[in-house]
Amino acid sequence: MTALKRRLCACAAVLPLLVAGCATKPVAPTTAAKPAVAAPTLDRSLPRSDAATLTALDQVLLGPQRSAANRARDAYRHPRETLEFFGLRDNQTVMEVWPGAGGWYTEVLAPLLRGRGHYIAAGYDPAAESKFTQDSIRTFRTKLDGAPTVYDKVQVVALQYPGALAPVPRESVDLIVTFRNLHNWLARDNAAAAMLTAMFDALKPGGVLGIVDHRAEPAAPVDPRAHLGYVNEQFAIDLVEKAGFEFIGSSELNANSKDTRDYEQGVWALPPTWRLGDKERDRYAAIGESDRFTLRFRKPRTR
């Protein structure tokens, strides 16, 4: 048996873990036309996702651990393409920073990495006094505890400003990903710098940081606090580079040209937040989720 066949067989073992105890047939994810955009800008010498990982990822995306509502959002979030762009492999140690109470990407990364890799959920500080923080921690823990055959190997750690203390041993992580969180850190004094420093320290030399966030109008004045939830893409790149990372690639796969960024309540007027309730709901539904940049950085092998 060839090495590739052995890896494909190993990845096929993911499915029984996902379907255990589930009598219903998984529903296929929403299929959306790929955006007509230029090919990603990326150094082709960098490590890429291998065929076995992508095969396993396709199976996980169809798994019953994902709700129908979450699968419907694949049309805007492109999880397969995004994770492939970041170079995900199923034998990596991957840390997701602030997965959120609902654990949208946790439903994908935890089962994918359960067999050969390691998934770390770097969430809020359990010592924080905020009710929102405590409710989010409780909801996320309930999710994990409710499906032990999928989430029993998830490592939960804390990574939150202002201290942003080391969540894992230094230089122990292959890939760090964070989705729609940079704007939250920019809104607070020095939070973004503290979080990026903690992530830099956690990554192995040569390790990758993948960031997705709401993209501001490029021609608009830069708002360093991202009050409306939108972040200037070049500002984000400069900020991450200042923390020591090398910028190595960008992709338009999460772009949305319908997003005009001129809404009352900013990006939170759009789905999935719907902060304005039923006000102009048809308009926001037609736009869909926000226009987003997708950026890939690397920790230098030598300083």
The pLDDT value given to residue 24: 37
CA distance 296 to 203: 14
Beta bridge partners of 97: 122
Q: What is the mean pLDDT of the chain?
A: 87
Average confidence (pLDDT) over 226-255: 97
- Of all residues in the chain, the percent with pLDDT exceeding 90 is 77
- What is the band of 35 on the pLDDT scale with cuts at 50, 70, 90? very low
CATH of domain 46-256+289-298: 3.40.50.150
The pLDDT value given to residue 41: 56
**Residue 49: count of CB within 10 angstroms of its CB:** 18
DSSP string spanning 60-73?
HHTSTTS-HHHHHT
Half-sphere exposure of 175 (CA within 13 A, CB side): 25
- Taking every pair of Cα atoms in the chain, the longest distance, rounded to a whole number of angstroms, is 60
pTM, entire model: 0.86
The pLDDT value given to residue 210: 98
* Residue range 65-119, pLDDT digits in tens: 998 999 999 999 999 999 999 999 999 999 999 999 999 999 999 999 999 999 9
Average confidence (pLDDT) over 273-302: 96
The pLDDT value given to residue 161: 83
Average confidence (pLDDT) over 222-250: 97
Q: Give the domain ranges of the chain.
A: 46-256+289-298
- What is the band of 147 on the pLDDT scale with cuts at 50, 70, 90? very high
* pLDDT over 60 at 171, yes or no: yes
CA 270-237-192 angle, to 5 degrees, is 75
* Residue range 1-29, pLDDT digits in tens: 444 444 444 444 444 444 343 333 333 33
